[in-house]
Amino acid sequence: MTHLLQRRQCLAGLGGLLVAGLGMRPALASPDVHRATRVLMGTRVDIVAQGDGPGATAAAVQAAFAEMQRLERMMSRHRADSLVSAMHRRAGQGLVMAPPELLAVLQRAAELSRLSEGAFDITVGAYHGWSFDPQDAHVPAPQDLRRERRLVNFRDVLVHPATGQAGLGRPGMRIDLGGVAKLPILQAGLRVLGQHGVRHAMVNGGGDVLTRGQLLGQDWRVGIRDPRSPERLIHTVQVRDGCVASSGDYERCFVRDGRRYHHVLDPRTGMPSRGVRGVVTVSRQPDPVNGLGAAIMVAGAATGRHLLSPLRDVDSLIVDADARVSTTGRWH
């Protein structure tokens, strides 16, 4: 019974720290509002769009999902035909041609790795023995993590925007773009909606929410869950033309022998980070906060506040390992 309860607690976080669209149910009954859901990037992605006609809005939503699926195919480490997998095969041997979307993600990853002094590092993909599926959970052996640790160094990710090429410096290296690719992919979906004339929409993917306009004249309302009691909201925020991003130790996790194992790995050890339970940022644009949540999960609350301090117009909430909540901006 305890195991089942622990599994449910982790699964309850599959939508991230956020409960998007509070109070949306009456609006969803409107013929002007269209909602659709897909599984992308290993999580559930919801689009709620308000348009001038159901047919045109539905077509816009389908086009948005198609664009997000295209980018997922490009950046997934789980697909043999992705460019990321091509980089893995060519590791230590040469570069691959990379489109602007992938180069931008790799550049952001490099920037965040420098800012966080390695707390964020996409080369944690080398720790490939983990499985965070509660029904098929697996913890790698310590000797495997020690061996793979030698392949973890963000400085060996080679990015050449001038030639449109990227690669990995040493054989055996692997990258995981999960912490830095999701927001740009969701942003691409929202951009496609705008290109199709949809002026009011929300895209919610695993706790990262991007909004444009309003829902039937009201700002989008986003509820922020307690990381350990997902049924309880600790804050609610109203967003118009903005981004709410979250990271936490309750998404993609399992509990074994009283310890919680989750998917945000510490590059230094290959083990799940332990300093912070959850991070939420609210901003006008997603770019300044992209990947910050994962970096703060590893670096800790004090370093997290330091990383956030230069960012203007970014509100933040950090829940540390002892359940203490620290806030900036609108929550301060």
Domains of the chain and CATH, by start:
2-69+199-331 (3.10.520.10), 83-178 (1.10.3980.10)
- Say whether pLDDT at 222 is over 70: yes
What is residue 293's predicted lDDT score, i.e. its pLDDT? 95
pLDDT band at 13 (very low <50, low <70, confident <90, very high): very low
203-212, 244-253, 283-292, range with the lowest pLDDT: 244-253
9-13, 198-202, 238-242, 249-253, range with the lowest pLDDT: 9-13
This prediction has a pTM of: 0.91
Task: Give the model confidence (pLDDT) of 106-129 as tens digits.
Answer: 999 999 999 999 999 999 999 999
CA dist 246 and 95 (Å) reads 33
pLDDT band at 24 (very low <50, low <70, confident <90, very high): low
Give the mean pLDDT of 265-281: 94
Distances (CA, A) of 64 to 61, 190, 222: 5, 7, 22
Helices 301-308, 292-299: axis angle to 10 degrees equals 140
75-89, 107-121, 234-248, range with the lowest pLDDT: 234-248
- Cβ partners under 8 Å of residue 127, min gap 6: 140, 145, 148, 152, 265, 270
Count the helices and strands in the chain (H runs, E runs): 9, 16
DSSP readout, 76-106? -SS-TTSHHHHHHHTTTT--EE--HHHHHHH
- Say whether pLDDT at 15 is over 70: no
Q: Where are the alpha helices (DSSP H) in the chain?
A: 2-11, 25-28, 54-75, 83-89, 100-115, 142-149, 178-195, 292-299, 301-308
- For the chain, what is the mean pLDDT? 90
What is residue 5's predicted lDDT score, i.e. its pLDDT? 33
